[in-house]
Structure 1
Amino acid sequence: MERWHNRVAVVTGASSGIGATFVKYLANNGMITVGLARRKERIEALRDDVKDEAKARIHAIKCDITNETEVVAVFKEIESKYGPVAVLVNNAGVVRHSDLLKENNSQDIRAVIDTNVYGIVWSTREAFRSMKAQGDDGHVFLINSAVGHVVPYLPNNSLNIYPPSKHAVTVLAEMYRQEFQNYNTKIKITSISPGAVRSEIINEEIVKLMDNNVLDPENIADALIYCLQTPPNVQIHELTIKPLGEKF
């Protein structure tokens, strides 16, 4: 992690679950870490859970990543306060469990697409602008899902537009790989696709269906740190992580 010391990492959806764990891991590993979320105070509270010398490296900015104008302004604020972005972790994501065929479900569908797809597009565009301005390296992570590759059948539990939104993330990873290359940069792209992770967006019914075989947020954060430590000529394009015993 030495090459990333005192460089800026941005984590979206940083107020809980995997995102909060990413913030702590990155700060503990020497990065100036900026967490973005609607609940800014929960990011600030993460300072209590890191090493003393890492506390000052955690910063929080309130941001709705579905709002393009707000995202543009926030990334400019990050650059002016902390420096150019070196690592972006697109972690923010939501899931809705109502059926696609249910009437009056437009709000649920838009919430998922706006967060899981557009949120990545706006954030990655702005991070890339910052990375390109300060040099040719950097690393962008897309926190995808195993359902972005294969859709499980969950009796009486519709995942709504969530799996299609994650399939879009799978394709976005390849599009970014090609575009980073076309712009003659050495910026890496990594899509991490976990199975079920213990978090606020996984309901207890699904956990029971899986006989409690779920991942912990720390398992995903360990993988992220591993990817960041790969040599400059190595790109982990797709990493799928499943809990032992997962049925799907």
Structure 2
Amino acid sequence: MNRWLNRVAVVTGSSSGIGGAVCKDLVAKGMIVVGLARRENRLQELKSELPADQATRFHFRKCDVSDEQQVIDTFAWVDQTLGGADVLVNNAGIVRFSPIIKEGNSADLRDTLNTNVMGVAWCTRQAFLSMERRKVNDGHVVIVNSIAGHKIPQFTGFSLNMYPPSKHAVTAMTEVLRQEFLSKGTNIKITSISPGGVDTEIVDKSRIPNLDEFPMLRSEDVADAISYCIQTPPKVQIHELIIKPVGEKN
């Protein structure tokens, strides 16, 4: 991690779970970290939990990635305040459980796509444009995908709504972005990390019977994987990393 010391990482969806764990991990390893989330109070709590020396390198800003203008304004703030992001971790994501065919659920469909797909596109665009303007040639974009972006898990009694389609879109987007970066002649890397079950707030435990019997990853496991991917040598790009807890059946 030596080459990332005092360089800037932006992490979306930082108010809990994987995003919070990534913020703690990267700031502990010497990076300047900007946590983005809709729940500003949770970001303040995260900052207050950090050791004093790390807290000085942790910044936060309220940002709903499903709102394009908020994303544009936030990355402009990062540029002006901290000099711009060198690492972007696209972690923000939501899941809704109403069936796609249920009448009156249009908001659930739009919200999922706007957060899980368009939010990734807007954040990646703004981060890349910033790197390009600053002639940063060794940046890294990480997308927290899901095993559902490769194979759709089947549960009894409820639907995952647009979550799997949104993650399949992210799988395709990662390859499109890799090709776009390549066409620009840059060495900026992109990595999609697809965890299996992770014990976070996104899991509605009331809907899944006997959830305690399912093997689950910790948020810290995913944060470790992200650190591993951004530490690879200059000529090594981990394009896709799938992580499953031991014993997962899907």
Q: What residue is the counterpart of 1:193 in the other structure? A: 194
Q: What residue is the counterpart of 1:123 in the other structure? A: 123
Alignment of 1:108-187 (within 5 A): 108-134=108-134, 135-187=136-188
**Cα contact 2:191–2:239 (8 A) shared by 1:** yes
Q: What residue is the counterpart of 1:99 in the other structure? A: 99
| 1:197–1:207 Cα change, 3 Å | farther
**Cα contact 2:145–2:171 (8 A) shared by 1:** yes
TM-score computed with the length of structure 1 as normaliser? 0.97
Shift of 1:203: 1.5
Amino acid of the residue matched to residue 38 of structure 2? R
Distance 2:208 2:236 in 1: 36
Q: Does 1:211 align with 2:210?
A: no
SS in 1 for 2:225: helix
Alignment of 1:218-229 (within 5 A): 218-229=220-231
Shift of 1:209: 4.8
Shift of 1:52: 3.2
How many pairs align? 248
Q: What residue is the counterpart of 2:10 in the other structure? A: 10
Distance 2:174 2:149 in 1: 11
Moved more, 141-150 or 41-50: 41-50
Q: What residue is the counterpart of 1:72 in the other structure? A: 72
Alignment of 1:232-247 (within 5 A): 232-247=234-249
Amino acid of the residue matched to residue 130 of structure 1? S
Distance 1:220 1:87 in 2: 16
Distance 1:160 1:211 in 2: 24
**Cα contact 1:143–1:193 (8 A) shared by 2:** yes
Distance 1:161 1:147 in 2: 11
**Cα contact 1:43–1:60 (8 A) shared by 2:** yes
Q: Deviations over 1:55-93 (max 9, x none)?
A: 111111011111111111110011100112100000000
Moved more, 117-126 or 38-47: 38-47
CA RMSD of aligned residues (A): 1.2
Moved more, 48-57 or 89-98: 48-57
Alignment of 1:31-50 (within 5 A): 31-50=31-50
| 1:84–1:133 Cα change, 3 Å | same
Q: Deviations over 1:103-144 (max 9, x none)?
A: 111010011000000000110000001111222120001100
Distance 2:4 2:21 in 1: 18
**Cα contact 1:44–1:59 (8 A) shared by 2:** no
Shift of 1:50: 3.0
Shift of 1:206: 3.2
Shift of 1:51: 3.5
Amino acid of the residue matched to residue 65 of structure 1? V
Ranges in structure 2 where 5+ consecutive residues have no aligned partner: none
Amino acid of the residue matched to residue 194 of structure 1? P
Distance 1:169 1:9 in 2: 20
Distance 2:211 2:45 in 1: 33
Distance 2:132 2:232 in 1: 20
Amino acid of the residue matched to residue 189 of structure 1? I
Amino acid of the residue matched to residue 79 of structure 1? D
Distance 2:61 2:84 in 1: 16
